[in-house]
């Protein structure tokens, strides 16, 4: 008796527009054929042509025109045998306006914006609580000390450019410090490592003197470009400390290996020193050699803390509440996942 083996073609072949894309793609899907290791995919527009092969039961054709209908054929391969064609209904690609797989991100952004609007409005009517930051509270004392001693304030805005968030935070802190220095008629020296940072710093200090009602006391030569070389800049700032003997040294922004060189020299001159950076590797040196150290995100919060501007304070509170919600969701999601309930975990899925 002779048994004939007929390899059946794949069943349930379907073709459809690939969801949540910008167009130009059609997905083909079919049911698995027992024993098949490879599937051959054909596309028919005017003629039937082989476009690829796959080991899966799904294939994406990313080389199609939007709005044009295509028919797809699939053949299964088992050993040396190849099945007959199984064709799909016609399908056409089109772009989607929204990626529905990322609705969780949309709602997260919407909730965050809601918190910002709410807290900005709340900050206009009352004073919102912000945790005390010792280094920022000491700024008035530091400026007052320089005034009493009749010596200048040295403000170092880091060694990075304006593209660094730490430098932006340093410039935001510079304005209230310069304004306070203008009110006390105390000189402020700002050596810069970058020409763009220097230009911004000059404008910020000038505006601070104007707001303090002392535009005549502003000295553009006190906000200057020193050098863009790391250790040459450190040597130049150390020279300023030794010559000018500032009573207060403020190190704010991004720092690298020169941090301890600057802080040690300032400590030797007897100046009160306040440092702030988000460079984790440099924090131990500032903590060891400075009187106060503003750590990490405290640096970013400084502008809101010092100015009490409703927009800045509202934004800061919105960030804090959002972080608290995320922490609670992470903790709750971990517990639920242990018990096989990845409900919250799925909310963070962006695929």
> Which domains occur in the chain, in start order?
14-87 (2.60.40.10), 100-118+312-347 (no CATH), 128-307 (3.40.50)
Q: What is the pLDDT of residue 307?
A: 77
In degrees to the nearest 10, what's the CA dihedral of 292, 297, 298, 302?
120
| Res 3: pLDDT | 39
Mean pLDDT by 10 residues, the chain (351 residues): 62 93 93 90 92 93 93 91 92 88 84 92 85 84 90 95 92 92 94 95 95 92 94 96 95 94 94 93 94 88 82 88 90 87 75 58
Residue 2 confidence (pLDDT): 40
What is the DSSP track for 141-206? HHHHHHHHHT--EEEE--SS-TTSHHHHHHHHHHHHHHHHHHHTT--EEEEESSHHHHHHHHHHHH
DSSP assignment string, 93-116? B---SS-GGGHHHHHHHHHHHHHH
**H or E element in which residue 38 lies:** strand 38-44
Give CA–CA dist 300/276, Å, rounded: 10
Burial 290-316 (b: 16+ CB within 10 A, else e): bbbbbbeebbbbbbbbbbeebebbbbb
Cα separation, 296 vs 307, whole angstroms: 19
The dihedral through the CA atoms of 121, 125, 127, 128 has a sign that is negative
pLDDT for 141 equals 87
Tokens 């053949």, located at residue: 75
The whole-angstrom separation of Cα 110 and Cα 189 is 43
What is the DSSP-derived secondary structure letter of residue 213?
T
Helix (H, G, I), strand (E, B) or coil at 17: strand
The CA-based dihedral angle spanning residues 181, 183, 185, 189, taken in that order and rounded to the nearest 10 degrees: 20
Cα separation, 249 vs 27, whole angstroms: 63
Record the tokens describing residue 161, joined without a space: 């450019």
Helix 297-307 × helix 310-338 angle, to 10° = 140
pLDDT of residue 344: 79
| Cβ-based neighbour number of residue 126 at 10 Å | 7
Judged on CB neighbours under 10 Å (0-12, 13-18, 19+), 194 is buried
> Helical H runs in the chain?
103-125, 134-149, 165-183, 195-211, 230-244, 259-268, 283-289, 297-307, 310-338, 343-347
Residues 163, 164, 166, 168, Cα dihedral to 10°: 0
Q: Measured between alpha carbons, how far is 33 from 341 in angstroms, rounded to an integer?
A: 33
């Amino acid at each position: 008796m002779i048994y004939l083996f007929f390899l059946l073609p794949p069943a349930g072949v379907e073709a459809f527009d690939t969801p949540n894309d910008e167009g130009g793609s059609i997905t083909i899907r079919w049911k698995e054929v027992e024993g098949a290791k490879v599937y051959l995919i054909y596309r028919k527009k005017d003629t039937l042509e082989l476009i690829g092969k796959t080991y899966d039961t799904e294939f994406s054709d990313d080389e199609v025109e939007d709005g044009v209908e295509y028919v797809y054929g699939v053949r299964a391969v088992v050993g040396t045998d190849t099945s007959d064609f199984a064709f799909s209904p016609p399908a056409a690609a089109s772009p989607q306006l929204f990626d529905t797989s990322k609705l969780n991100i949309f709602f997260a952004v919407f909730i965050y914006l809601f918190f910002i609007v709410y807290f900005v409005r709340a900050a206009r009517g009352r004073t919102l609580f912000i945790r005390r930051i010792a280094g920022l509270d000491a700024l008035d004392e530091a400026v007052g000390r320089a005034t009493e001693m009749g010596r200048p304030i040295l403000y170092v805005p880091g060694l990075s450019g304006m593209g660094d968030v730490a430098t932006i935070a340093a410039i935001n802190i510079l304005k209230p410090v310069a304004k306070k220095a203008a009110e006390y008629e105390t000189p402020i020296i700002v050596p810069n490592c970058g020409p763009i940072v220097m230009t911004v710093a000059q404008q910020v200090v000038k505006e601070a003197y104007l707001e303090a009602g002392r535009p005549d006391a502003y000295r553009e030569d006190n906000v200057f470009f020193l050098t863009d070389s790391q250790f040459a800049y450190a040597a130049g700032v150390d020279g300023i400390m030794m010559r000018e003997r500032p009573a207060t040294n403020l190190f704010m922004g991004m720092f690298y290996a020169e941090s301890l060189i600057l802080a040690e020299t300032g400590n030797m001159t007897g100046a009160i020193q306040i440092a702030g950076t988000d460079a984790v590797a440099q924090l131990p040196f500032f903590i060891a050699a400075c009187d106060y150290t503003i750590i990490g995100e405290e640096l970013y919060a400084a502008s809101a803390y010092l100015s009490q501007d409703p927009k800045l304070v509202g934004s800061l509170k919105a960030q804090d509440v959002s972080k608290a919600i995320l922490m609670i969701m992470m903790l709750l999601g971990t517990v639920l996942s242990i018990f096989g309930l990845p409900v919250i975990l799925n909310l963070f899925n962006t695929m």
